[in-house]
Every structure is written in C-alpha cells, then in structure tokens.
C-alpha cells in the first residue's frame, strides 16, 4: 500500500502538469502556426500594413480556428490561424465514448473549410469583415517579424511569412456595444448599420456557418462588422439571416424594448425578416 501511494504521488504531478501548463499557456503552440498551404490569398505588404505590424501585439483569446492578438494601440486584431493536425486518439475516445460528442469535422475538413472561407472573405467580404490584410500561404522575405506577447509572460518574434493570418479592425461585440449605447441617435445609426450589413451579406449570398451572433458580430465605433470570417460559404438559403435578425429582435425586446419597433421597421424595408 505504501509503495502504491508513493507511486501515485510521483505519477499524479506528471499527469496533471501538462494539463495545467496547457491551461495557463492558453494552448498556444508555435508548431500549430506553420501554414500547410503552398498557395492561397496573399495581400501585398503596404506601407500602412508594415507600420501596423511594427507595434507589439498582446494575446487576447483563442478562437475556434485561431489565436487572437490585439495591437498595442487597441485598434486592430491579428488572427493567427492554427492547424491542429490529427486529433489526439485519447481526446477522440473521451469525446466520442465518454462525453458522447462525436467530432463534427476532422482536421483536413476544417482546413478545407477555413481555406474556402478565407478566399471568400478576401475577395467578397473585406468591408463586411473590416479586413485589412489577409495572408494564407507561405511567402519569402515579404512580411516582417511581429512581436507577440504570449500568456505566462513570454515574448515571441514571429516570422509572418510562414503563418496564415488576418488583420482586422478591432470591434466590440454586438450586444455589449448596444447595451452601453445611451445616445438615441447613436443607437439608431448602429441598428441601421447592422441592418445594412445583413443586407450586404444577403446581396452577395454570403452565409456564416457559425450561428453565434454575439460572438461573430460587433461594432467598430458605430459601424457594424462581422468579426468571424472563418466559416463563410456561398448559399441561396437565407434562413441564417432570418435567424440572426430574429436574435436581434429578441434581444431588443428584452434589453431595449423601445428600439424593437425601429428594428422591425428596418426589416420591413426588405425581405430580411
């Protein structure tokens, strides 16, 4: 019994240290940033983009398909797309057999969807997604290195030529922004901008496969944008637009009922209801 307890005392830290480190480091791993794509969408390095990435970027969050960093001036986000490779067999077993949640897509399917979404965003949704620069394939000596401040106080100089990334204007999440808007004129302009964004997406047959409105949409000042650009497809099915418009109406009815009628009047102007 004594030897068993000693073995457990020795083994448990070895088992839990990787989990603790992953949690504290937010799962950031440099090897996940190396793009597997030899060809893709490549924006040229402009003087403005060069000046933008000359500032430091600080870890903000981890998205479904990217690590997100915010610029030192707080105006931009750098999304570094990550590539998981094959899923860990133990993770797959726990998810599928114990938690009863089968994997929706394998790594290759995710990569294909992300690649397609980036192509669509780069060509057809730059304004809607506040996209400043998009780089999805390996290049040589075009983009500079960028200074990243990572969790646990670490600092990394990353060569952007070897990464797939997007730079966007930083937005405040949609409902957080609306909730703190006290000026009626500003509220009216924000809702009108959101309505115009929905109309623009519909006119281009753009659909985002991620249904989470609050996580994917936001405001840059008074301008509505779609923050998530990693799940775009083309589709004639407008159900997603109807659902999002309904989500906005439901939120307004609960948190800002005086504006529900204004939103309904905007929707009545076209077919997005």
Query: Are residues 78 and 146 in contact, defined by beta-carbon separation less than 8 angstroms?
Result: yes
Q: pLDDT of the chain along its 273 residues, tens only?
A: 555 655 545 544 444 333 333 433 446 888 888 888 888 899 999 999 999 999 999 999 988 889 999 999 999 999 999 987 544 544 444 445 555 555 556 778 888 899 999 999 999 999 999 999 999 999 998 999 999 999 888 999 999 999 999 999 999 999 999 999 999 999 999 999 999 999 999 999 999 988 889 999 999 999 999 999 888 999 988 888 889 999 999 999 999 999 999 999 999 876 554
What does the pLDDT read at residue 152? Answer: 83
What does the pLDDT read at residue 132? Answer: 97
What does the pLDDT read at residue 11? Answer: 46
Question: Which residues, other chains included, contact 137 with Cβ-Cβ below 8 Å and sequence gap of 6+?
Answer: 35, 37, 38, 39, 40, 41, 42, 164
**DSSP secondary structure string, 82-132?**
----SPPHHHHHIIIIIS----SS-HHHHHHHHHHHHHHHHHH-TTTTTEE
Q: Domain extents for the chain?
A: 28-169, 172-267
Structure tokens at 198: 């929905």
Query: Are residues 82 and 63 in contact, defined by beta-carbon separation less than 8 angstroms?
Result: no
Residue count of the chain, please give it.
Answer: 273
What does the pLDDT read at residue 189? Answer: 98
Indicate the pairing of strand 155-159 with strand 145-149.
Answer: antiparallel
What does the pLDDT read at residue 71? Answer: 98
* pTM, to two decimals: 0.82
């Amino acid at each position: 019994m004594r030897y068993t307890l000693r073995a457990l005392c020795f083994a448990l830290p070895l088992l839990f240290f990787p989990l603790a480190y992953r949690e504290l480091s937010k799962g950031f791993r440099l090897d996940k940033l190396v793009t597997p794509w030899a060809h893709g969408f490549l924006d040229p390095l402009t003087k403005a983009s060069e000046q933008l990435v000359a500032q430091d970027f600080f870890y903000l969050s981890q998205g479904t398909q990217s690590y997100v960093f915010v610029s030192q001036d707080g105006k931009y986000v750098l999304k570094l797309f990550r590539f998981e490779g094959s899923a860990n067999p133990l993770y797959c077993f726990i998810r599928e057999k114990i938690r009863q949640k089968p994997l929706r897509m394998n790594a290759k399917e995710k990569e294909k969807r992300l690649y397609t979404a980036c192509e669509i965003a780069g060509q057809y949704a730059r304004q809607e997604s506040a996209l400043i620069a998009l780089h999805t394939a390996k290049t040589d000596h075009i983009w500079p290195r960028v200074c990243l401040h990572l969790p646990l106080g670490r600092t990394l100089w990353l060569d952007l030529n070897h990464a797939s990334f997007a730079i966007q204007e930083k937005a405040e999440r949609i409902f957080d922004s609306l909730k703190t808007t006290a000026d009626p004129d500003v509220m009216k302009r924000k809702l009108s901008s959101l309505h115009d964004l929905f109309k623009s997406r519909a006119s281009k047959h753009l659909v985002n496969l991620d249904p989470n409105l609050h996580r994917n949409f936001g405001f840059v000042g008074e301008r509505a944008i779609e923050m998530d650009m990693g799940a775009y497809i083309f589709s004639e099915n407008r159900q997603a637009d109807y659902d999002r418009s309904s989500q906005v109406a439901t939120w307004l009815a609960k948190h800002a009922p005086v504006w529900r009628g204004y939103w309904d009047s905007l929707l009545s102007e076209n077919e997005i209801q």
